[in-house]
Structure 1
Amino acid sequence: MATLGLSETEKAAVEDFRRDVVEPSRTSLVIVDFWAEWCGPCKQLTPVIEKVCAEYAAKGVKLVKVNVDENGFIASQFRVQSIPTVYAMFQGQPVADLSQARTEGQLKQYLDQLLAQLPIQSDEKALAQEIAPLIAMGEQLLADGEADRALSVFSQIAEMDPDNAEVAAGQARALVALGQLDEAEAALAALPAEAAKHAAVDQARAAIALARDAKPVADLSGIAAKVAADPNDHDARFELAGGLMANGDRDGAAEALLEIVRRDRAWNDGAAKAQLLTIFEAVGLEDPWVAGQRRRLSQILFS
């Protein structure tokens, strides 16, 4: 905003706006709420805006309230004709009119869309960039069978970002590998409700469920002989699959479960297919092994 020809009061208002809105908007998303004491709808909207912006502060969102009675010149520059009027500002320019967002859900939806599109700098993004290689390290240790070291890495990351779903899920899967199932469930239970919906948490829950059902068997020859003697003894084959999975032979377990589905997909209300899907989720739906086994399952189901 140019200040040539302005009164001292208007110049002061422009400088305040530059300081409070324009400069922070270089890296942050600044929400500018035009309001007045006498405005009834403003009083209803204010608690919503303040609550949501406080929740999104770590994401790079900043709230600035502009009283139109005290800052009429600024309001006129934005052509504010009615209040409440709410703009989102980035790099000194309005990027969205949020005036129609009157509920928490609506405002969060707008903010999520803007944050996904704009290169906002935030504490949350900086932390995510810092811990990403550490999460990758923990996952690699888990894949290599070094559950103790993986748990140590994930526990250290959790101190930095306690509400991170991927970190808690990594902790839980490491604890599962170490046989500490109650501790694994506690790691997931500590997450906020929104984080608990993450796909990584579903994977960890599936791993816990499998581990609780698993009964390692030193010698599976007896149950294998029962299956060989009667290939349609699905109870025995299902038990064999559980023993194989508990012993770490997921290929053998998948083979046994696929054979049950091949012979009788409806057996025990589809228990074999359900167990396969639990295994897939526990291993990870993006895992190449899972992709191959899912193709085999689809071929059986749709042949």
Structure 2
Amino acid sequence: MATLGLSDGDKAAVEAFRRDVVDPSRTSLIIVDFWAEWCGPCKQLTPVIEKVCAEYEPKGVKLVKINVDENKFIAAQFRVQSIPTVYAVFQGQPVADLSQARTEGQLKQFLDQLLAQLPIESDEKAQLQEIAPLIEMGEELLTAGDNERALSVFEQVGAMAPDNAEVASGHARALVALARLDEAEAVLAELPADVAKDQAVDRARAAIALARDARPVSDLSGIEAKVAANPDDHEARFELAGGLMANGDRDRAAEELLEIVRRDREWNDGAARAQLVKLFEATGLEDPWVAAQRRKLSQILFA
């Protein structure tokens, strides 16, 4: 904004705007709220916008409130014709008009979209970069069956990022692998509602559900003989699949569940298919093994 020919008051307003909005917007998303003391709708919106912006501050969002009566030149530059008017500013330029967002949900939706598109620097992103190698280490230890060390890693990372969905998922799954199911459920129960909806947390829930259903069996020969004698004994085959899962043989467990679906997909209200879905979620929907098993399931269902 040029300051030539402006009053001292307007020059001060422009300098304050540059300091509070333009400069921070180089790396952060600045939410500029134009308001006035006499504006009724502004008073209704203020608690909403302040709460959401405070919640999103770790994501790189900052709120700046501008009283239009005290900053008429700034308001004119933004062509503010009615209030409340709310803009999102990044790198010195308005990138979105948020004036129609009057609820927490609407405002969060707008902010989530902007944060996904813009290279915002934030404490949250910096933390994610820091803990990503540790999460990967924990997952590798789980895959290798080194469950105690995996738990130790996820506990340490959890102290750094207690509300991270991937960390909580790994922590809970490490506890599941150690047969500490109540503790695993407690880890997930402590998560904020929005984090608890994450797909990574669903993976941990599926792992807990599978562990609750499964019972390790030292000798499966008896149930295997029962299935061999009557291949249509789906209850026995389902029990066999559970024993195989509990013993860590997910390949054979999936084979038995797929066989039930192939023979009678509606058996026990689709129990075999539902169990397969739990197994897929617990393994991770992006895992190549899951992709291969899902192709087999599709071939059976659509043959």
TM-score, normalised relative to structure 1: 0.97
Alpha-carbon separation, structure 2, partners of 1:219 and 1:257? 19
Aligned residue number for residue 165 of structure 1: 165
Deviation at 1:259, TM superposition (A): 1.6
Query: How far is the alpha carbon of 1:82 from its aligned partner?
Result: 1.6
Are 1:259 and 2:259 counterparts? yes
CA RMSD of aligned residues (A): 1.2
Write the distance in 1 (CA, Å) between the matches of 2:98 and 2:255: 55
Runs of 5+ unmatched residues, structure 1:
none
Question: Is the deviation greater in 3-12 or in 202-211?
Answer: 3-12
Indicate the residue corresponding to 2:92 in structure 1.
92
Structure 1 equivalent of residue 67 of structure 2: 67
Secondary structure of the 1:194 match is: helix
Superposed, 1:13-162 pairs within 5 Å as 13-162=13-162
Using the alignment, how far apart are the partners of 2:133 and 2:216 within structure 1?
34
Could you tell me the TM-score, scaled by structure 2's length?
0.97
Give 1:98 deviation, angstroms: 1.4
Alignment of 1:205 onto 2:205: yes
What is the Cα deviation at residue 210 of structure 1?
1.0
Where structure 2 has 5 or more consecutive residues not aligned to the other structure, the ranges are: none
Measured in 2, the distance between the counterparts of 1:225 and 1:115 equals 57
**Structure 1 residue ranges, 4+ long, deviating more than 6 angstroms after superposition:** none
| Residue identity opposite 1:262 in structure 2 | R
C-alpha distance in structure 2 between counterparts of 1:99 and 1:237, whole Å: 59
Alignment of 1:191-230 (within 5 A): 191-230=191-230
Give a deviation string over 1:69-89, Cα, whole Å, max 9, x none: 111122122222221111111
What is the CA deviation profile of residues 117-146 of structure 1, one whole-angstrom value per residue up to 9, with x for unaligned ones? 111111111111111111111111111111
Cα displacement string for residues 217-275 of structure 1 (whole angstroms, at most 9, x for unaligned residues) = 11111111111112222221111111111111112111212222222222212211111
Tell me how far apart the structure 1 counterparts of residues 174 and 14 of structure 2 sit (CA, whole Å). Answer: 56
Identity %: 82
Deviation at 1:285, TM superposition (A): 1.4
Counterpart AA for 1:119 = P
| Letter of the 2:223 counterpart | I
Aligned residues: 303
| Counterpart-to-counterpart distance in 1, 2:240 and 2:78 | 72
In structure 2, the partner of 1:279 is: 279
